Chains A and B, each alone.
Chain A
């Protein structure tokens, strides 16, 4: 196949060629970066929380009448729930992982106010937390019932045994979990907290938190008139149990209301709503762009073919096979796409640098660009296939016909 004549024919229509090449370049820039953003978001969304999310829900019990006693209500509620078939366990917590709301604090290995402190999420729990959440205790032991304390509202911190995540242990001690066990952390400058256990994983409540894997469990509950229950159900029973438990608790004690009943799966969906929305929007953008650009390629090809009907007929009359006509247009398309994706590779990296610098995103992996180039070239070839087959069907007789 002679490249020279194809090039010369393209040169005569260079503006049209440039328009398509630019479209391909911009499309590639958007598509590759959009896929990269989608993958980036999916990676964030796929991080496990460490919890048995499918079988968990939570609710808030808020007292509002004189005579509401939070401490005894918790005890009664626990008895009630433990007697309910379908419920495995429950824990009273101050914050729910993934919910976007909770507390964090800084802890130190030494009681030195000027020493570096490591930020960690702070979960106030009881001895049922590990079982309820479905955490994996990799070292040490769980809290005992005796260790769990009830504090008044705004009680400042006091010493307590703690359980931390493996990630936090590794952040604090070179020896990781093994060294952490039995060691002491200092909270609020000089309050000592002895590490009695390490769990494999428990995410902080905020999906965007920089140290999302750093969490610390403290065995106490703050009596402030409201309590947050995390409830674990038998597999597949979350939805029925949410309704049943809400009713049970609301009826059992009219001095409080039950609110914010929500499953953990729903909570995860809400927390990552922006990310999943972004991914879907970008998917739509990709589809639209590829469609528009394909239309552009088809349009240019049809225009070029119509202009050259006679010429194509003449070629056929002179002995060109249908395959050769098709090949002519495919090669022409390949050249245009080649120019487009080369320019596109430069733009893609440029736009990625903009994303990296402006939005603190990690840099794109190397293989995205060549894959994108390949994909765009394939799209172009597919788009031009139809029109070029049409061109191949132009009868040779057209050459002798006067128009």
Chain B
């Protein structure tokens, strides 16, 4: 019977092509526009590492200025990061920050600059970083200040033509680094491990053991905030300062571990208080990935405003569809009467028209995919290279939701017209037409 009803739906479309096309367009525009915003929300507000997001915790210690009232700082000082790194606890952890360096390729190519990330060995396993060749370094490289480097896939293409470059060396700011691994394509959206420096920025091109940033005096990059003047000048004064500039992540498998680590943090801060630091009340936090993204309001205001507007746009399109379906179904009063005379009961008429509305919805959904694709492409063009935009595209989830939403919303829009149509007294429309 479903196919019969689908065929009737198609025939009915042909009978009022203009009206039907208007409906399909209204559904397509409404759903398509909504899906553009849905895609933005669902990726930008999504979970960038669903397998582990509840085990990875961002550490926040309140080392802020005691004379002002503000939220705890988003990042950590060097002193605290090093203390947490050196802590004798079994949990994987990493401090991390950005730098930039000049790469000198062999041969004719001119030197160029790259964005780099300093991190500890656990970074790669904690964040499930995929490797094309080789692997990350181990903890001894951090301790022993080994000059090892992990390249991004793109940089490996640029320097080594994409072949396995493990064991080769790369000149960074004049220092020889040995390639130990090449990361496969890896661009978490949002870039959860460093939302302070652009949550939609591309991943870095090189990774080196974090201590080398200090050891080799690399060009630090990224957000640095100091509430207290440095005590003296030079690098040591900076490192001993209350300036915050590092992100710190720890992997905790369960609630027990989390509690253990929270206790450890609180104890550490209490000790530091004895030394005159941390003059604010004890206020240390562990946020898992999703809590952290939510807290930092990674989702831009713009997408939230657009969500509200898109919902209203969809509403207008559906109101439009209700009106058009009403005209269309009431125009079929005669046919509905005849069908009842020939033995159709109300339930089968209801189903017939639900299928007809669903058919319009399906067409609207298919066209809506085009509208959504067009809208997403438009947004990519508008944003340009402001941020990573590769993800702004239709994926299977969006395609499924688009079609589903289109069918469902058209059927919902059709309920009142269908109810009206099925309530028609058959006898009144059989006499003369």
Contacts and interface: CB of A to CB of B under 8 A. Distances in A.
Interface of A: 15-16, 19-20, 22-23, 26-27, 29-30, 33-34, 37, 62, 64-66, 113-114, 152-157, 188-189, 224-226, 250, 257, 259, 270, 273-274, 276-278, 280-282, 284-285, 288-289, 292-293, 295-296, 299-300, 303, 351, 354-355, 358-359, 403
A281 B379 contact: yes
A273 B308 contact: no
Contacts of B309: 30, 33-34, 282, 285
Given A16-B326, A289-B316, A154 B234 contact: yes
B175 to A, nearest CB: 10
B320 A152 contact: no
A225 B317 CA distance: 59
Interface in B164-194: 173-174
Given A113-B67, A257-B111, A274-B386, A15 B326 contact: yes
21 contacts: A16-B326, A16-B327, A19-B319, A23-B319, A26-B315, A33-B309, A37-B305, A62-B113, A64-B101, A64-B173, A114-B67, A188-B229, A259-B112, A273-B384, A274-B383, A281-B306, A289-B316, A293-B316, A296-B323, A299-B320, A351-B308
Contacts of A30: 309, 312-313, 316
B132 to A, nearest CB: 27
Given A20-B323, A289-B316, A359-B304, A155 B382 contact: no
Given A225-B219, A281-B379, A289-B313, A270 B308 contact: no
A39 to B, nearest CB: 14
B355 interface: no
A280 B111 contact: no
Given A288-B313, A293-B316, A303 B327 contact: yes
- Size bracket, chain B contacts: 35 or more
B382 A281 contact: yes
Nearest to A65: B174
Contacts of B305: 37, 278, 355, 359
B229 A296 contact: no
A22 B26 contact: no
B415 interface: no
A292 B323 contact: no
Q: In the complex, which of the residues A188, A259, A284, A292 has the most CB atoms of chain B within 10 Å of its own CB atom?
A: A292
B16 to A, nearest CB: 11
* Main SS at interface, chain A: helix
Interface string B227-262: 001101111011000000000000000000000000
A289 B316 CA distance: 8
Nearest to B232: A156
A250 B236 CA distance: 33
Interface in B99-125: 101-102, 104, 110-113
A45 to B, nearest CB: 14
* Main SS at interface, chain B: helix
Contacts of B301: 359
B174 A64 contact: yes
B145 interface: no
A257 B336 CA distance: 79
Q: In the complex, which of the residues B113, B304, B313, B319 has the most CB atoms of chain A within 10 Å of its own CB atom?
A: B319
Contacts of A289: 313, 316
Q: In the complex, which of the residues B174, B233, B235, B316 has the most CB atoms of chain A within 10 Å of its own CB atom?
A: B316
Contacts, number: 138
Contacts of A16: 323, 326-327
Contact of B324 (A64, A250, A278, A299): A299
Contacts of A189: 229
B405 interface: no
Contacts of A299: 19, 22, 320, 323-324, 327
B322 interface: yes
Given A37-B305, A273-B384, A295-B22, A156 B233 contact: yes
Nearest to B306: A281
B383 A277 contact: yes
A23 B102 CA distance: 58
Contacts of B26: 292, 295
A181 B232 CA distance: 30
A20 B101 CA distance: 61
B281 interface: no
Contacts of B235: 153-154
A29 B324 CA distance: 22
A26 B174 contact: no
Interface string B33-61: 10000000000000000000000000000
A224 B234 CA distance: 11
Nearest to A27: B316
Q: In the complex, which of the residues A23, A27, A189, A250 has the most CB atoms of chain B within 10 Å of its own CB atom?
A: A23
Contacts of B383: 273-274, 277
A37 B416 CA distance: 35
Contact of B308 (A156, A282, A354): A354
A224 B312 contact: no
Contact of B313 (A15, A276, A280, A285): A285
A311 B42 CA distance: 53
Interface string B314-334: 011101101110110000000
A26 B316 contact: yes
Contacts of B316: 23, 26-27, 30, 289, 292-293
Contacts of A355: 305
Shortest 10 CB-CB contacts between residues of A and residues of B? A64-B102, A277-B382, A188-B229, A303-B327, A19-B323, A296-B320, A156-B230, A155-B233, A23-B319, A273-B386
Nearest to B320: A296
A242 to B, nearest CB: 17
Given A16-B326, A288-B33, A354-B308, A152 B313 contact: no
